[in-house]
Amino acid sequence: MKNIKIFPLLMLTILPIDAFAYLDPGTGSIIIQSVIASVAAAGYVIRIYWHKILSFFSRKKDVIEDKK
């Protein structure tokens, strides 16, 4: 019964449909700008959390033992 409900959705996603869309020249620059901004943001986040990333992947145990 589930296959009967999934089949039409699967066919809609697989079959090509004409979009009749227009991409103006500004669209390319927006895509390039978003890629550059994503790379810059990822670099900034890595720079901020660099010590936490290194401590997560390091094998040293800098954990302070609990005092009892």
pLDDT digits (tens, 9 = 90+) for 37-50: 999 999 999 999 98
Q: Which among 8-12, 33-37, 52-56, 57-61 has the top mean pLDDT? A: 33-37
Angle at 44 between CA 43 and CA 48, to 5 degrees: 120
Dihedral of the CA atoms 47, 51, 54, 55 (nearest 10)?
-160
Residue 14 clears pLDDT 50, i.e. is over it: yes
Please report where in the chains the tokens 């869309």 appear, as a residue: 21
Instruction: Read off the pTM.
Output: 0.51
**What is d(CA 21, CA 30) in angstroms, rounded to the nearest whole number?**
17
Query: Domain residue spans in the chain?
Result: 23-59
Q: Residue 64 — very low, low, confident or very high, per pLDDT cuts 50/70/90?
A: low
